[in-house]
Structure 1
């Protein structure tokens, strides 16, 4: 498609195109054995390995729910694909019910993420559960295929031993556990970052839940939790200076609805909007003088980079822009996200557009363009754009009784938790 023809898309048509093509990563690009979501896929060819990512698979479940709701695929096709994915997950080794970061898409065996990270990853498992619970809520028909789908999801969900990751004497959940290395990585899950979802799920789990004190005495007691400073004239309630990478505002909030979500520490809609506005202003002012930056080219998050895979933020800014950062921010800053969407679509002669939507990242100053799509970046585009368009995934996830129980136990307020707003916990 020529650059000239691209200019004739309406805003709605271009949003739909970007969302739908990103969905295809999880449908056409899925591993052929069980349909689980690959970690990354080359722009030019399928990967030669069998690596699938558990977090990306969670986003895959959400993307397929969106596709069924938008009639991109038939409902029965979606159920069939999700059932195949559950076949793979049920075959995979779990560690006290917790899944590894990477597994083999053919055999479902664990693929070590690093030398000592060869067991359960609680945060990646949380991202998986976010998708599982949305699917359990959406596919609500009494017909046997959907009934069986819900039962299988419930079995996986209830089997996760969140409490196992609260080591004796620890005040915070621990990210990793391995049968070979135990808790030797020692990575406690403390805020502020992308892991709010993990505590909400751990507090609401029906069988192996955790005491809310680990949220208040662990997660919320990190030196990097409270902020309260202003950057570019925007006050930021939580997190590192200048906000950190933008996936903090996306991963947990594909399911958790930040609108009106508050606890004793923050208003999470205000938090995420502030984070996004700081990034927009940073890229507009462009203190590093990076080529391309502006109102139609912004968004710093963890992504591919000429040096590998790296974290990008206003404090770690080497000129690499990731389209997922801006596009997944549609709920928080729709006008700025729309400007970025149009900018990315036309930029660099259209070379940012690949077979599954936008490539992962680019650096205009050097002409570097990622040669891949990443599951954990394509997934939030589908989910957060849908939440902007319809609120579908927010409605599904926040209606789940286990999610609601967890939020209540942690002391959250939300319109979804008010009397009459669904099931009681």
Structure 2
């Protein structure tokens, strides 16, 4: 299957014949393309490129997403077997985009997704929750930190979001597809969400370790990227939380709302440690690959769409304003979110890029690209700028994780699953609503949302 994604994509544009599509990849990022691509062709291109991360560069045994992939081979060979559960959930949704856009054959995808389901069934779980990292050869936990060697409920939620979408996509298919859907159904229903209330406290906890118990002591309180965890916990048929846990835990007894505005735009909630600008943009993306913010509300937030759209627009307006004076920031080069960064000594590090607080002159492409539903005009301008004017920022699996015009067109030839994995699904949600419709139409999700007080005009949840 190597190179098939690029081959099918180029053939679909009429740029090469189907017979010669695979060999065309040797012609570089632009292939044989001479004509300027339309917006739809550009979106096809970046979606197909991002898919390669989870298709061509997947961990070879489990077929799940590696934590990272570095074209510069900076890490030793054994690093290639470290898979990430959250990023793999995004990868599942990316594969669905590939099937639906006919970038990859449906039958091949079903085969691969079945391998993934079988691996996850046997992999280490801790009261149903998977760890942050897993060894793709053995299925055993790879500690994310000394005490983080057990269940990670948030990463599990990101994975489960994808699992449910796969179930919904294939549940009415042929016998093999129905078998896959049944495997995915069993996986998500095995997560003991309510156990992660630490004995019945009215809040969910992020981590539990068989060695250290609850010592990490990280309650999930809003607002950040973790809303999906409460939605799934409420939706669980056998291990559900009650509405009080959502209200007291996530919303901090209803105290997490705010009247603060920035650039005239309401923020609606107090973003944790980032109340002025709303924090890194992944907070408007990770929970919303499946959870549809269109027409979504509860008694605290009258419009989750406006919450997320304003968050992105504030980031955009900040980058255009560019108060720190970094070279290159503009209407077509913007977007701050967590990812790789350039350290002061020129080496590669990691930072939660966000306005003012951690603006280091580095633009992370997934920030603007994965905001496509909220800011289609601004995000498309960024997409076109990358592919037409900054080909050095593009690698084998699409835009590199970190870029900087300010530092003389610096980039790092590296990818992170949790960043690359939001690009294709969020662009697809803009184009067709595919993942939003799959997730929101799952009966358990509808029931869970109702249970904790959500309404959706888009999906008739009252």
Q: Same fold (TM over 0.5)?
A: yes
CA distance in 2, matches of 1:388, 1:142: 25
Q: Over the residues paired in the alignment, what is the CA RMSD in angstroms?
A: 1.9
Query: 1:268 maps to what in 2?
Result: 304
Query: 1:92 maps to what in 2?
Result: 123
CA distance in 1, matches of 2:45, 2:330: 23
Mapping 1:14-413, distance limit 5 Å? 14-45=42-73, 48=77, 49=79, 50-168=81-199, 170-221=201-252, 225-238=256-269, 239=271, 240-266=275-301, 267-307=303-343, 308-314=349-355, 315-347=357-389, 349-367=390-408, 368-413=410-455
CA distance in 2, matches of 1:137, 1:342: 33
Query: 1:9 maps to what in 2?
Result: 37
> Given that residues 192 and 224 in structure 1 are in contact (C-alpha distance below 8 angstroms), is that contact kept between their aligned partners in structure 2?
no
CA gap of 1:330–1:6, structure 2 versus 1, over 3 A, is: farther
**Deviations 1:19-72 (Å, cap 9, x if unpaired)?**
111011111110111201101111345962111000111011111111111111
CA distance in 1, matches of 2:29, 2:137: 39
**Deviations 1:132-182 (Å, cap 9, x if unpaired)?**
000000012353211211111111111110011001352210000010011
Report the CA distance between 1:5 and its aligned residue.
6.0
Equivalent pairs, count: 419
CA distance in 1, matches of 2:429, 2:91: 15
CA distance in 2, matches of 1:195, 1:86: 24
Q: Structure 2: which 5+ runs fail to align?
A: 1-27, 344-348
Mapping 1:406-421, distance limit 5 Å? 406-418=448-460
Match of 2:256, SS state, is: coil
CA distance in 2, matches of 1:303, 1:6: 32
Match of 1:362, SS state, is: strand
CA distance in 1, matches of 2:454, 2:74: 43
Match of 1:184, SS state, is: coil
CA distance in 2, matches of 1:292, 1:79: 43
CA distance in 2, matches of 1:294, 1:224: 36
Report the CA distance between 1:418 and its aligned residue.
2.2
> Given that residues 192 and 239 in structure 2 are in contact (C-alpha distance below 8 angstroms), is that contact kept between their aligned partners in structure 1?
yes
CA distance in 1, matches of 2:292, 2:460: 14
CA distance in 2, matches of 1:284, 1:220: 32
Which structure carries more relative contact order (alpha carbon 8 Å, separation 6+)?
1
Report the CA distance between 1:371 and its aligned residue.
2.2
CA gap of 1:222–1:23, structure 2 versus 1, over 3 A, is: farther
CA distance in 2, matches of 1:244, 1:311: 8
CA distance in 1, matches of 2:52, 2:150: 30
Match of 1:304, SS state, is: strand
CA gap of 1:404–1:97, structure 2 versus 1, over 3 A, is: same
**More divergent stretch after superposition (231-240 vs 95-104):** 231-240
CA distance in 1, matches of 2:255, 2:95: 35
> Given that residues 64 and 116 in structure 2 are in contact (C-alpha distance below 8 angstroms), is that contact kept between their aligned partners in structure 1?
yes
Match of 1:155, SS state, is: helix
> Given that residues 227 and 241 in structure 1 are in contact (C-alpha distance below 8 angstroms), is that contact kept between their aligned partners in structure 2?
no
Query: What TM-score, normalized to structure 1?
Result: 0.95
Match of 2:421, SS state, is: helix
> Given that residues 190 and 222 in structure 1 are in contact (C-alpha distance below 8 angstroms), is that contact kept between their aligned partners in structure 2?
no
Match of 2:69, SS state, is: strand
CA distance in 1, matches of 2:111, 2:237: 27
Match of 1:351, SS state, is: helix
Q: Structure 1: which 5+ runs fail to align?
A: none
Match of 1:320, SS state, is: coil
